Chain A
């Protein structure tokens, strides 16, 4: 193997590890802009991964599995949204419990069920996939990966250009002022969470029926938290958030590839990289006023 081959392998496996993060990060980014921080994105991804494999096994179609996964994510998001932005329970409390519940439930269910393996098909774009280095990474992949080309611009458009997104951002910056102008703050936040759940579900499902083809216990393994780290790393800007996802995906790919290449870079260090980077970035840019001002603060009318 030449070093160019190695690099190409790392790049392509990095892309495949980036995609689930990028889907979920689009959703989490939108929720953050509405001020709705939610750590249950981990549970959404994990639940969706399980749901997609179960649905794919029952119906025999990986595509159905993908849709089912997104719906599981949506369901968890709706539970989270109603508990936090209707019943006003602390978002971190709800997130913790939901994550614990989903982890327990999926571990339980996978232990007593066996599912047939289904995987969505691969597409290879002619000519472009023969490009050196990036050809394999960008132009061959499971087809849902290319949904990112739809969802990233769509999320950007929703947040930055639509009326709904304007209201979301108003809610995220100053819920009291938004409320006074007649925006239903908690409703907007619940809607933002639904988008988040749909995309986090898609990310989890992509991981399961897209890349792996089966479900393992705790298969997301903290990826939801990495997604939050990516949004913070990106300074609540979509482009940089996706860049963060690519960076963290590549770090993950290096961890898997380096031992085979005979290089010794500490794997513990590599796993810790996303978290370290997120903390470093928070230290550098926390006071840059980029953070939505009401992030994580509940809104309740006092009168």
Chain B
């Protein structure tokens, strides 16, 4: 209400001013340009990936077909794709929250692992009846992920340790913590059967702890994890775009100093944002060990790059949890299809190249378009010319 009234007032006072204000609401030319350049870059990224196959002597068409067969051709393929989508999406939506607040968490891979570790410990060591075991597993993983990320917050608050660097380093510690846990029989290593060599992995998680699926084999199976992930994505999307908290978060992301002056408790808010990011990553870890995507055992490689991929998804989705859903689906398709790629003689790591190129295609164009426009503006207006201030305002005086 207030905003529209203001707008009307300005309009009546000065038609030029009104046009200026409205111009801010219209999608600008640069938005259209960015979209166009992005589309072109995505095509270029795809062309480069296919060109890479052709250059190395493979058949691009066969590879595309293999990607399709492995991920979407049958209902079973769809089921396996969707199994990957759930943890990817979970990591991504949490990262959306922290990135919006300008808190750069790049330790999701470690938080996923710690979540998987905590979830496995609860599932294997606590004897809870029925459904409560599964819920306890998921909750424990969520809390563990949040606490692991919280350590970085704590280090920042206590000693000013850079959050990006600490979350990154904590990832490598997490990898070793999980490796340690599954190689010690007093912690989580699989129990010895006869004289067999014990591998570095945990026992199979009990059936009660596993997240169930809807749908039987010939049909599409939808794992409970996916439903949790999609619901959370919608919930978080509403939270960040429709709540006062979300606005504060956005403010902090755009300018922490301005947010502080507006009364936002930035210290607490960034800790919460980082905690949420860690929590969803931890939950993703629990979904990984409790759903059929892994062997239902805790292994050092259980995260398998899900954390890193989740981070890439956020970059493509430009910090929007709802956009993250289709992007996570795309990354799930690439993951599931990548397994099939090897059968055509093309190494499955091509998928990783495709993913990285795709992210570049989404990240680079806006920056480059902006750069080009700045250049053009600088050429148009020589630096020596002083701008004429039409309506001197207090803001203008400050600037």
Contacts and interface: CB of A to CB of B under 8 A. Distances in A.
Interface of A: 37, 39, 83, 86-90, 92-94, 96-98, 100-101, 103-105, 107-109, 111-112, 222, 225, 228-229, 232, 266, 268-269, 271-272, 275-276, 278-279, 282-284, 286-287, 295-296
Contacts of A39: 106, 168
Given A92-B104, A268-B180, A279-B169, 16 more contacts: A87-B367, A88-B367, A88-B370, A92-B164, A93-B315, A97-B360, A104-B352, A104-B353, A105-B356, A108-B349, A268-B177, A279-B170, A279-B173, A282-B161, A283-B161, A286-B162
A230 to B, nearest CB: 12
Given A96-B308, A268-B183, A282-B159, A101 B360 contact: yes
B220 to A, nearest CB: 29
A100 B355 contact: yes
A101 to B, nearest CB: 4
B180 A100 contact: no
B349 A100 contact: no
Nearest to A91: B164
A266 B179 CA distance: 11
27 contacts: A83-B367, A87-B368, A89-B367, A92-B106, A92-B164, A93-B363, A97-B312, A97-B360, A100-B352, A100-B359, A104-B350, A111-B349, A222-B172, A225-B169, A225-B172, A228-B165, A229-B169, A269-B180, A272-B177, A276-B173, A278-B169, A279-B169, A279-B170, A282-B165, A286-B159, A286-B161, A295-B162
Given A108-B52, A108-B349, A278-B169, A296 B155 contact: no
- Give the dominant DSSP class at A's interface: helix
B357 interface: yes
B56 interface: yes
A107 B347 contact: yes
A103 B314 CA distance: 20
Contacts of B165: 37, 228, 232, 282
A97 B359 contact: yes
B257 interface: no
Interface string B299-341: 0000000001001100100000000000000000000000000
Given A89-B367, A282-B165, A272 B353 contact: no
A89 B364 contact: yes
B159 A86 contact: no
B166 interface: yes
A108 B371 contact: no
A281 to B, nearest CB: 10
Nearest to A266: B180
Given A96-B312, A268-B183, A111 B172 contact: no
B356 A90 contact: no
Contacts of B57: 112
B159 A283 contact: yes
Nearest to B358: A97
Contacts of A295: 162
Query: For this complex, into which size category does the number of interface residues on chain B fall?
Result: 35 or more
Contacts of A228: 165, 168
Contacts of B367: 83, 87-89
A272 B162 CA distance: 19
A108 B104 contact: no
B389 interface: no
A89 B371 contact: no
B151 to A, nearest CB: 9
Interface of B: 52, 56-57, 104, 106, 155, 158-162, 164-166, 168-170, 172-173, 176-177, 179-180, 183, 308, 311-312, 315, 347, 349-357, 359-360, 363-364, 367-368, 370-371
Contacts of A225: 168-169, 172
A136 to B, nearest CB: 30
Contact of A296 (B162, B177, B350, B363): B162
Contacts of B183: 268
Contacts of A87: 364, 367-368, 370-371
Contacts of A88: 367, 370-371
Contacts of B170: 275, 279
Contacts of A278: 169
Contact of A271 (B158, B176, B312, B354): B176
Nearest to B309: A100
A97 B311 CA distance: 10
A79 to B, nearest CB: 10
Nearest to B164: A92
A278 to B, nearest CB: 6
Contacts of B353: 101, 104-105, 108
Nearest to B172: A275
B371 A272 contact: no
A97 B363 contact: yes
Nearest to A217: B349
Contact of B155 (A98, A269, A283): A283
Contacts of B351: 104
Which residue of A90, A93, A103 has the most chain B CB atoms within 10 A of its CB atom? A93
Contacts of A269: 176, 180
A247 B359 CA distance: 36
B355 A104 contact: yes
B179 A268 contact: yes
Which residue of A98, A228, A282 has the most chain B CB atoms within 10 A of its CB atom? A282
Contacts of B106: 39, 92, 96
